[in-house]
Amino acid sequence: MPRENAEESIKAPYERTIHHVVAPEEEGERLDTVVASVVPGLTRSQVKRMADGGWISVDERRGRAGGRLRPGQRLEIHLPPPVQARAVPEAIPLTILHEDSHLLVVDKPAGMVVHPGAGVASGTLVNALLHHCGDLSGIGGVLRPGIVHRLDKNTSGLLVVAKNDETHRALQAQFMNRQVAKTYVAVVFGVPGSETGSMSMPIGRHPVDRKRMSTRSPGGRTAVTHWRVIRRFFHFSILEVDLITGRTHQVRVHLQGTGHPVVGDRVYGGRHRSQELSNPLLRSRIRGFGRQALHAHRLGFIHPITSRDMSFTSPLPPDMQELVSVLEEHDAP
């Protein structure tokens, strides 16, 4: 999640400017890294294009994406005006928990990418939403209309989507100010020694493998995760995980850091641990689980227009229910 010292203002019709003062812990970090953290939904490649186009200034001078920052410097991030969404509508079934004229809450299945991107042009949540709604907020860009936050392709669960720009801006502000409640359920290797715990290790891009995140990155950003055990087995546990911040891959990276990687997570150590299992049937079933056993279970926010408290819950999807049944049968203590 972005820092609390980021402020937002509207400078012109459909143009938004975010002001951010570089914090002491951000000293030496690259401009693109900080801006991508301050503004939900922006990638570093997008930030570079914005910087090259003169949309970002540092102390009233044109910013460079790779420029290193000093505490106290003032950033002005001028977000380009919204553009019409151009992703192609597709008739893909959706599970919708709530819909009104301003937003909708969907239950994304595992295996579905949230928005088109490199190598993925169709079959995404955005393609399905455009077919269902006809139009969405353009703030996310031509390939990410309405998308305020994301889930990894192989993480299932709840997402809120904005239908118009006013709602999009207000929801983004709630994410920036850490007012959105996000709770996940994860099946992990091992049994924690306590009932609850927290991780506050910074998360940043892995220094060698740029597709991964790491708690050992020199440019890591503050990340806070709380967890509690909701069920114990002999070799596994089911955890309920609350995100205070919202870094990329945060749950997966932090649980790996506790020594309890998510079952099925091929990137963050949740696959090779199955080799330690002596029961061949259990080992085979765990190795055969086709994705990280992670589900966005609860989502809570304030409706930007009605000011109502909104709270939604999604049950475990069938594949995770089956995984729990396997543990009940073969790994009960």
Catalytic residues: 152
Exposed (0-12), middle (13-18) or buried (19+): which is 328, by Cβ within 10 Å? exposed
On whether the CB atoms of residues 183 and 241 are closer than 8 A, the answer is yes
Task: Write the DSSP symbol of residue 156.
Answer: E
Query: What amino acid occupies position 304?
Result: P
Residue 198 tokens read as 């927290």
Locate 102 and state its tokens. 């301003």
Q: What is the rounded CA–CA span in Å between residue 1 and residue 3?
A: 7
Residues 23 and 38 sit within 8 Å (Cβ to Cβ): no
Determine if residue 331 is left, alpha or beta; phi over 0 gives left, psi from -120 to 50 gives alpha, anything else beta: alpha
- In 3D space, the residue among 158, 179, 40, 160 whose CA is nearest the CA of residue 102 turns out to be 160
Say how many C-beta atoms besides its own lie within 10 A of residue 30's C-beta: 19
Q: Which has the closest alpha carbon to 103: 147, 56, 45, 50?
A: 147
Q: Are 291 and 321 in contact (CB under 8 A)?
A: no
CA distance 257 to 251: 10
Give the DSSP H or E segment for 318: helix 318-330
**Residues facing 79 on adjacent strands:** 16
